[in-house]
Each structure stands twice: as C-alpha cells, then as structure tokens.
Structure 1
C-alpha cells in the first residue's frame, strides 16, 4: 500500500498555521537587563543563603579583631621665634618655601627619629611590640621535605629544565648581633604605626600614632614631637660648635696676616714715595675737579649765548611774529617796543576791517608803526653786538681753563699712580683688620649662643591626648563591606550556576535555540493527580485545571479540534507522532492526555504504543498489559481487531506495544507498519504514535517520515538545548515533518516568571465549573 499523503494545510511546511520561528540567535549579542534581574530574583533564596553562610564567619572574624587607638599631636613650622639677644644664629632659620613642609615630613618619617622614640619609650617591653616566637609551622616539615625532593629531582634534569624547576634560595640571615636586629625590628614596627600628615596649604604637620593601648598611643605621639624638636636643637647646637671651633682656628691666621702683610706694606710705600695720607693726592684731585666744573659752566654759557645770538640774527624788525620765541635776555625796552608793536598791529587790523585798506584813518597808525619798527631794529642790533662780545669772552675762558686742566693732568699723573698703589695696599690692610675684628666678634657671639639653649624652628600647638575610643577597625563599616562582598560572591555563584544550566526554560528559548515554534506548554502533572480516583482522571478531566487547559490549548494550536462548521477531511485521519530527545520527558503522558482530550470532543482517536522496549501507555491508562499488541500484529501473529482495545472511560482506542522483540526497528520499518498506519488513518480521525526517544534508539527516526506531523517534546529546565537541537536535526534529516515543540512538565510559577516578569500574571481564574 502506498504511503499516505501529507495531510497538513498547504503552505505550512510542517508548522502550524501562523507560526514562524525567529532566526536562531537573534538578539543574542544584547544584554536584557530585565531578564537578568528576573533571573537573579528567582535565585534570591540561594543568594541570601550563600550570603549568610559567607557573612557570618566574616562577622565573627571582624568582632575578634583587636581595636586600635590613635593619638595625634600637631606641630607648626615657626621660622621667626622670639630672640632673647640680638645675635644672629650660625644656622639660619628655615624659610617659608614650597618644599619646607615636605622636607620636615620626611625628617619625621626618618628611621633615625623612629629609633630615638623606640629607645625613649622602651617599646621592647610593650606587649604589642613583643618579639614573635619562632615556632615551626604545621606544614614546615612537609615543605622542607618537598624542597629537598625537588632539589634532588632537578639535579638529574638537563640544565635548561633544571633552571626553571630549581627552588628559590632562602633569604639570607640578618647580619649583626641580636640587640641590633631587635632594634631594627622595633623601629620598623613603630614606623608602620606612625602617620605623618602635612597640612593643606599650611605650615602645620600632624603626627599620629596608632596602638592597641590608648596610653601608649598618646605617649608615642608626644615622644615623636619631643624627639623632632630635640633633633632640631641638636642640629643648631652642633652647627654652632663647629663654627666656634673653625673661628678659633682662623684667628691666628688672620692676626698674622693683619700685622705682617697689611700694615707693613702700607708704611713701606709711604716711606718710599714720601706721601702723607690725605694731603698730596686728594689736593690735586680737588683742584682738577674744580677746573672741570668751571670748564663745564663756561661751555654751557657759551652754548646759551651762541643760541641767543642765532635767534636774534634771524629777527626781522618789520615782522612781529619773528620775535616770538626769541631770547632777548629780558631787555625792558625791547619788551615795551614789542608790546606797542602788537597793539598797533591790532589797531590796524581793526581799522582795515572797518574802513578798508585805503581809508585816511589808517595813515597815522601806519606811520607810527614804521617808526616803531625802526627803533626796534636799532635795539635788536645793539643786543646782537653785546651777545657777540659775550660769546668771544666765553671762548677765551674755555681755552684758558682747558690749558690749565691739561697742565694739572700732566702734573698729577705720577702722583695718581703712586696713590693708587698706596690705596690698594691700604684697602688690603683695612680688610685684614676688618676680618680679624669680625672674626673676634663672631667668636664671642658664637660662644654666647653655645652657652644659651637653642630654640627650634617649630612649636607644638596641639599636644597628644589619651583617645577616648578606638578609631579602628570600623567594625560596622567592615561588616557592611563584608556583606556587600559576600552578596557579590553569592550573586556571582548564582549567575554561574544559572549560566551553566543548559535547559530550555521558556517559549522564547524554544524559538531562539531550537528554531521551532512553541506550540504548547504543558505543566507538571504530579503523582497525586496521576494516582487519583477514576472519576477524577487527569487525562479525561477536560472540564478544568491547568493541565487540561494546556492540553486544550495544544489541540487548538495544532488544529486538531474540529468545529461543526468545518467539513471532515476526505483524506482520512491524521497521524501525529510524539517523540523526544531522551527518556523521562513526559511524551507518553502527553500522548495519552492528547488522545483522551481529542476523544472527549467526539473525534475517533487511536493511540499506538510504538515503544516496544519500555511500554508505558497501558500503565498510564490504568489497565493491565494486553497479551497481544503492535509487535504481534506486525509479525502476523494477530489481527488488527485482536490488538485494538477500547478504553471505555476515555473512549480511546489503544494498541499496546506487544511482546518484546530483539530488533523492533525491522518491524517498525516494514510494509506492515505502513499498511497499519494507512488502515488506522481510514478508521480514525487522529492516530497518535508514542515513540521512543530519538537519541536513544532509532525507532522514532524510522517512524518520523510516516507521520503527518511530529510533535517534539522537550522537558522544561531539564533537557539541554544541545540535545534537543541534535534530536530535531536527526528527525529533519530523515524527512520528518516537525509541527512544533512542546515544553512538558513545566513549573507554572517559574515559567510565568520567565515569560511575563517577576510574578505570574494576575487575574481571576477562568476554570469551568461543572454543572450538577
């Protein structure tokens, strides 16, 4: 008999009408924050539990920590201290520079100052600074044996490989005696507890010491400040002492230089030249200076007279403007004439403007102006002659003074040379005397300073006090940080755990990972429901319940429920095969429920148990295993009517698996199986095939091409997407027409969280109520 034609509607290509799977991996490179939050919310109890488990030991460890106390003292750099005596110090006080505070901070952090404090406080007797006991560790013998074994092994290896495996040499033992090593240890330990904090844009420096004993913290902070001040005083005293010793050694040299070299040379020079101090050379110099002053005055007078002469020679008596700016030497007559000339010019200008140029009234003023100009010209000539005589006198005076100055210069040249040498020797002698006197004076001042107590350039403005409470560790803050860290670790573990889950959790993942439409989501049917009374059978209870509604929804989406307006297919019933990737995914339960629900609608349904290795249909239907079944029919030991059994309660026809056979693949792939499916399709509206898992045996791959539609069952949160994809790929390769994937055994609440948000969708129940 020929194979049955494909009974799906045209154009669906094995998928339910209206369902198109999205491309695999669409949006895979985007991070869905809302789904990430939902995923963490589902793991909230795991996160809270891990956080509590990790946080409690951390809190116990924090509470066991020893409290620390901190005490501080503040010193301020004061470069202008009050002086008792007005004697400059040998070492200048520190100035206010950008690097002054930083330099003093490094001094406070120095090892020398820490060693002074350790010695002053005798920190070796304090419990927290006690020397640790050098007890061998628990694993020290094992580590020594391992080190010896590794050394022996590397000795037998080549040099290149031995160089990589040779253990590092042990650190060298500290040098020096036990007392020096103990002092170094105490100094390093104290430096770890010392904090030096410079002020921001100020000259204040805060000295802070942390200790387990509050009294020790206060004493240590005070000791650091005292040691710092003592170091400054010692540095000044030492500088003063060194200066005093140096001055004392230099006094003999300065005295010898003053008596033999300076004074003897001056007296010898005076005896040789016959010069008396302050008589010959200064007198010549004063006379030459006076002549220079006279010569300069004569040249200035000559220049002024020459300038006035040139100005008056350019004067035109008829032009009043030519006398403007001319130096007439304050002559009163010329000044009067110039004023009269200006008045007549103004009068003529007024008459010309009033009568014109030819009016008789202009004759008299014009004649008077001509006479005035002639008089003015005569006076100007007189002044010019006088200035010429004055210029000649100044020239003669300049010449005379120049001759006299040249004579003095020639006369005093030799005297000046001798005076220069004498002055040079005198300056050297005076310098020697001055050096000696200053050295003596400075030596006495230094001795006075050395006898006085030096004042440091810093002062304490805030003394250390015993702290009233611990400053650390901040147990509340540490506990909060520990809670945050433990929560982060727990969240990371939850994320890793979630990411490592390879199951399929929602219809979105079905479509994205498997490339199939999610045609159904069937909730988990508990054991209590599967073992319920006969009048409350979950497989036939089509009136209500989550499981029933899910199966109804699956039937509707697969177009298996026929309405009265739809004509029956003339091509016979439809063969629907259910399979899965591995065992235990609920496909048999779904096949029985699907058959029972379709039979409840009045359709003729037969379910065939094709899993001859592990038959389960008869067990789920509540009956005993029939003596004959599918294998008996295919081998010819029984007829179709003999293997068909009617479940009166569910109105479903059942063909059991039959007796076990060695090679069921041959029977399922035979012509008898094909003929059986054709005959069943003619008798019934829906033929449901319950087949073994695809990845376990090949039975389902043999039956897949014979079915009109294959429903691939995937167990929610258990079946890995890789297994489901592999099974679907194999079914497609053999020509199976997969109508979609069904998520089975779903936790309804968790699935609602995945599909819709943090909580399942709310609303009133739409379950049907049975009518009595």
Structure 2
C-alpha cells in the first residue's frame, strides 16, 4: 500500500436522505406543528386585547400677535433643532406630567394599572414564603407609574419637529384619553412656565426700575451742578456760553475786518482820483452823496446857461462873468464835498481798525479760557455718558416691564407647540394579532422540527457521503450527482450457476438492503465483527463509512479498520492521512491504542491505513484476527473495510463462524453478483449480507423482493 497525498476529503450531503428522514417523521412534525398552532390559539385567546391610540404635536415658536419680538421668530425657529425636539420628548415623559395625568384620569382605581392591589392566592403564598416581594410595599403611585410607562411611547418623527404620543390600554377610551390629557397638561405647563417667567421678570424689574430712576435723577443733578460750577451752561442743545461767545466774536471780527478793508479801499480810490485829477463821478461813494448830486445838477444848469448866452454875449459881459463865478463856486463846493466823503471813508476805516483790535483782544481772551473749558468738558461728557447709559437702561427696563405686565393671562402666552391631531378611540385591537401569531408559531415549529431532524441526520453521518472519484480526479470541478443504485435482493432459492446448490442471502423482514436496514440487522443480531467487501472500490467503501456512522448513531461503540489500498475510509473519517494506523500496528511500531483515532463527523472511531511500508505490514497480516478479537472486547462492533478484495483474501482475516460478511454493491450486475456469491460460498461463507444505499433490484432481472 502506498501513501497518497495528505488532503482533507470532500463529502456531499445526501439531500435525498435528509428529506427522506423528514418524511419518515412527518407525523411527528405535523403533530408538533398542530400543537404549536393550537397552543398559540389558546394563549392569544387568554390575553386581554390592547388598543392603541396616537396623538401628534408640532414643536414651533409661538408669540402673541402684539408681541414686540416678532423679529425673533426666524431665529427662534432655527434654534429648534433635533436636540431641542428630543428635550421636549423627555418633558412629555417627565414624572410630574405623568403623575398629573394619572390623577386626572384616576388610573389608580383601574386594575389594569394597579394589578398588585388584587393579587392571586398563589401570589400571596409566594409572598408568605419569601419567594416574592410584596407588591403592596411599593407605593400605589409608583405602581401606576411603572405600568403607565410600559404602555406609553413618545418619540420624535424622524426628519421633522413632530412628536408622536402613543398609548396602549385594554380600554379604547383610556387609550385615547391619556395622549390627549398628556398633550393638554404639556401645553398648560408650557404656558404656565412662560407666565411664571413673566411674573418673575415683572417682580424683578419693578425694584430695578425704581433704583434706575433714582440713579438717572442723581446723574442729571450732577450734570446740572457741574455746569453751574464750571460755567458750561448751554445756550442751545449743544453749545455752551463760552463757545457761543467765541463763535459770535469770530464772526463779528471777520465782519469788521471786511468793513475795514472795504473802507480803506474806497478811500484809497477817492484819494487816487483826487491826486491824479481824474473825474470822481464814477466813484460810487461820491455818486451816492445827495449834495454832490444837487451840485452836479446846478453845475449842469449853469453850464447850459453859459452855453446859451455865449452866442449873444461877450466874455466880458457881466452876465457871463457872473455865470462863470457861479460855476467856479459850484466846483469848489463839489470838491469840498468829495473831500468830506474821503474823510468819512478814512474815519470809517479807522473805526473799523479800532473795533478789529478790540475784537481780537476779546478773541484771544476767549481762546485762553477755551483750554480750561476743554478739560472741564471732558468730565462733563463723562457725566453725560453715564447719565445716558442709565437713561437707556431705564427705558429698556420700562419697555420690558410694560410687555411683561401685559402678559398676565395664560391665553396671552401660547405654548411653543401646536396640536396636529388628537387621539381617538381605536376600533380594532392592537395586540394580540391572533392570525399572524398562530401562523408564525406553526411555521416556526415546522421549521425547527425539520431542521432538528436534518441536523440529527447530519451529526450521525447518515446523510453524508463522499464525493465520487471523478470529483477528486477532476479537482472537484463539478457537483457530483447522488448515487442512486439499486439494492440487490437475491432470493435464497435462486441458483447462482447451473447445477450448483442455492446460496442463502441474509435479508431483513422487508428485504430492505439499504445502509439503515443493514445497520439495524447488525445491531439486532449483536454482530461483533463485520467484514465489508466493496467490489466497486471507493464508492462501496464510502457506503461502509456510512454504515459505521449509522451504527454509531444508535449509541454503539463502533470501530472501522481501513484495510483498503486507496485509503478511502481514512480520507473520509480521519483528520489527516498522516495519522499512524494499521500498517504501523502490523509492523510493531505503535501500540493498538495509538492506532485508534476519532471520526471527524460522528462518534465512531477508525484505525486508518497508516504510514509504514505496506509490503512489510502484509507479512504480519496473520496477526490481524488476533487484533480484531482484542478490539471486540472494547467495542460493540468492529467493521473491517477490505475494499475490492476476493474471498480468499477475506478468509485470511475472518472465519465464517465468527464474522459477518457485508457485500457493498452500488450498481447491480447479475453476472458479477453470481460470481462473487459463488466465490464466497467456495471459501465457506454461506451467509452474505448485501448492502446498497438505493432501491432493491433483483439480480435475476425482476424487481420483486426476496422471498
């Protein structure tokens, strides 16, 4: 025997076997399902129905129409974020609010909310023996609150500022009254909180306003006293007397300087005209004199007369001399008048200069005093700022006080919430839903019972089979089809060959040759050693592994010895192909206990093929019967899987009177079966137990059971 590569074998789940096991226990599954459905029906019928009602509340900032803070609505609405809404949810669940609603609706008088007040006899007995705490020791209010919170559910609707209030009760009217009463109590408490805030604000503002009025009065008195002491008296809303004087003198000085300059200019123009002998008729000051105007008229009249008489009279004529003398006198008077005008202008200029000097002196004096007034004005402005601040604060407090005083009624202070919908009594119960509960209970029981049966088959190994050699050769590229081979029930009276005696074939009462039937037969007959022969190789050896696991599932101590050349049982059952096993035992390298290993998928044990030299181990094969006899002392049954061995080889390790021969055949072949049976008969094995995992099929060509 050569050692193959070390790998973990693949096994397939026999789905047909799983469903067959469920079908065999269909009455149990149906009974459990029906019992679960009936129990669910009874339990739901015993439960008192619960009715649920819901009310909804929108959290928003609300102010009276006449409020002066209407511009704050947008900012206040922005402050109602998710945490603010969650805070309102906790307020609605607050103990004080719940107690108030419980008292208003008198919930403590209802057994639904205070079941501890009417305890049963069993409950009283448990309290007496100390196995249960006396519920009456807990105050009635706390008992009602505990039950109230179990039935109450308050939550914020995701993505909104809406709060939903749900309440469950055995009475549909109570289920609707509680959310509505809770909302009313919440709105009242919110309005009351605002009213309390206004009352507190009014109580605090009133003495503060009185104090501020006194402070404003004192500040204004200080300002008036300081102005009186420093002379910083106001002549209007802004200017003091000194500032007003300084401004007036500056204005007057500018005017006087302008007059002086104007008088000097006009006098100079008259002076220049007289000095140069030019006509002064164009000078405005001369023309403005009434006397000069009359003299010019007289001069014109005299000149007209001279011109008129010069045509008739000579220059020496007395009349002509008289007119010329009169004209010269008029010119002297005009010149004298012009000199007077010049003297008047010069006099005005001198007066203006004197006035300018006086105003300049006064201005200098005022400027010298303005520095002192500036320092005093700094202190004055400080006093004025303090008085203005006190006055503004007083005005603010007065406005707040008037606004708070106007909100003395609860209706004037709406709560920051609005009712969207109120709760109404429910027409149908919320719990229990009998139909869905019964269906779910029945389906769950059906599913669990089916899964339990399947898991039992999987853990026992009866529903597991190895992958076919084709899968291992092709690196498990495709999923193997389950082996559906026919059983080979051979009639005890059938002739194997012409002229030979009939060979007896062991079969159970129903002529069933499946793995389960063979396992039941071996257990019933209390067979201690079963030698399995698999003419078809690894597929038959895999059936022997299923036989060992099935017997182990019945609670018997089972051991399988791998005597095959391919090590198929070792590959299916052992953790590794490198484990020490039969060849190591035959070579004397290990003890019997060291060669035994547990099965990976069941409670059976296996002696794997081993790692020692196969030729050397075969020299000591005659020792195997003694090893098997020793193992039967520790195990209920020892199964020796020999693979595709002939009768002669089997005769070396098993005697016809001590062991049971199990012929594992998957694909029925009449000629091959006849040859095998004849071979075993010739070596003294008259009773052969056929085993196949499929449907019975007679090797003689018919599908009738063995007689």
Q: What's the TM-score, normalizing by structure 2?
A: 0.48
Flag the structure with larger Rg.
2
